[in-house]
Structure 1
Amino acid sequence: MPSTTRIGAPAPVTRTRGVSAPGTTGTTGTTGPAATGAEGIGATGTSAEILGLLLPYCRTTDSAPARAAAFPYQLRRIDSFVRAGEPVVFTLPGFPCKSPNPAKVLGPLPDQGERLSLGFLDALCADIARIHPPGARVVICSDGHVFGDLIRVPDAHIDAYADELRRLIGALSLGHLSVFDLRDVLGAMPHEAKRAHVHRRYAPSLDALRTQVRSADHTLPLYRGITRFLVEDTADFTGTRSALQRECRRRAYGVIQRSRAWGELIAACHPRAVRLSIHPQPYGTPKFGIRLLDTPDAWTTPWHSAALRRTDGTWTLLPRACAERLGRLVHHEGRPSHFEEVPRAGGRAAGTPQAA
């Protein structure tokens, strides 16, 4: 598996037993074709080994140990690249933009949380290359423009965030990664027109989505999680709490519609790719949920939080306001980057800025 000593690599033993249960842990399953029954799926041993590198970082709603045989869809996709002698291509929707709530993030641009996450993904691809010489690559499908109006983030901020992701990938020599967004598909079309086009062509109907939410399948916790994030990301609402929750429930349906539309568009542009997801996913579905960093719950991402380096050298993600109480702010290249945890006894006072 990828080295657990790598800076930024999530600890490989955390398992999400439920999308709202923070801190739940479990034991990963034994990997390798003999232990997982991968031969019964028709996959090569190499394909099962590649999947085995992903299993320790699986973000799922299931409680059973993750074994390769539970992921026949992903095994078949990986196997198509292995048999063709080609790099395995993964697509990962996410990295949209920073939360608009200043209590959660350090600013509108990528910071240490994104740097660590990108480094983890690139190193994972490098580990795959040791098993499968053609290697692997991850296409980061930056989806901020898809629902920027619904999450109340200006399109200019979304462009700046995605441009900085591209710059970081080049500056850090992360050669296994690339960024894909609506500009790659629809060019210079106005952002509102892009959103309307994608929604009209690919989004499920609102009635169909409401039916899925009422059926209490995996769409229900997704809907609740997105609603919670929209509430938490709102920093300037002047109405009552109940009015805010009603508005965010309405917007949550739109976010899911657009997210699914984006997924359909990605599938059309990258039809053979193995689909990764930042959200917890049940076994046996086309999406493989993956953790980018250690987090206190199943929903925290680098773009909704700030990175905190603990005194033991490990990293976690926390809302800025929480990280600020635990550590001092560190700057990198002239911008706020992350927090360094300060021991409670002695040392500088928490929150004292320092340069990286």
Structure 2
Amino acid sequence: MSFVDRRPASTGLAALALTAALAGCAGPQAGGPSPQRPDFARQAACSSLLPASHGGPMPEGDTAVLRWLGTSNYELAYRNTVVLMDTFYDRPARTRPLGFDVKDVRRADAILIGHAHFDHITDVAPVAAATRAPVVGSAITATTAQKLGVPAAQTVTVRGGETLRYGDVTVRPTHILHSTIQPELIPALANLYRADGLGPLTEAEERQSKASSARGSWDPKIVTEGTMGFTLELPGGFNITWFDSVGDIHPDERRLAAELAGRMDVALFPWTPHPIAERQLAYTFQHLELFKPKLYVPTHHDHIWGVWLDNGLEPLFMKIRDELPGTRYASPLYRSPICLSTSGPTRGEFHVGR
């Protein structure tokens, strides 16, 4: 476990009271017991590995719980509201198991889809059918969701700038740009999997992988027109901004950054799938510099067999530590709760369960 606070030493003693106990996160890992769980995190939702969307415990009071569900999938549970971000659960063969199946997802009040590539939207139809929640995204996303089986009446098309409310969560979409992948990069990464002596996929594995990757859109306009970011605001102004891709900074992002200047509580931004850290840093860090979140949590950094590699977070975390001392960071394991205090004297404190 490790306590992570990257502010200057002058604030370090006060920061120890935050007890941000991190499992599988940045910083040296210790084998001893976790720091004491703060009072706001002494509840079932902050120790359970069962997501709220699967019937797990909901947080109490003004505690919010975030869970990483692989790739860029996240879940927010707050009061009586559950928001899902992306729905890519049935992943290609040999990709690391998430610890649950698509059929386990049965509760949501809103489904936000950042863009319609397969590794973000694959399971939108069964999740929408099981939860009856609206599917929110760009026009390309809405069209793709409908092709996958979501009723048109259950989709909500946004362009950016709208205000949507689901329970006690206000959702504001922002038009953003998708990252750019060089054409030769994807086959090069696929070759690495073949060259590393792990053997080819079986026929059954090939079928499963092709079926997963077919459930999405390859429309080139996704890069410039079809990608949305979302800011989720809770009562009292506590906010969480989630992007499932980061490319060059769009003017709408600058407007959002100006609106949230000095008060972005949590940023969920991708550590992009480029295998070379210097290239990744160019995309991700410019967004962290622009928004200067109080807490950064990465997305899109784990592998998809034959497509993306596991991407080590240390280069990014070291750069945050050295250049953005006001930003803390946490990298949870699949399904581990990140419990956030969103109000009162402990506002902004967080605890990450095992």
Superposed pair shares fold, TM > 0.5? no
Q: Which of these two proteins has the greater Rg computed from alpha carbons?
A: 1
Q: Which has the higher helix share?
A: 1
**How does the TM-score come out when normalised to structure 2?**
0.30
- Larger fraction in strand: 2
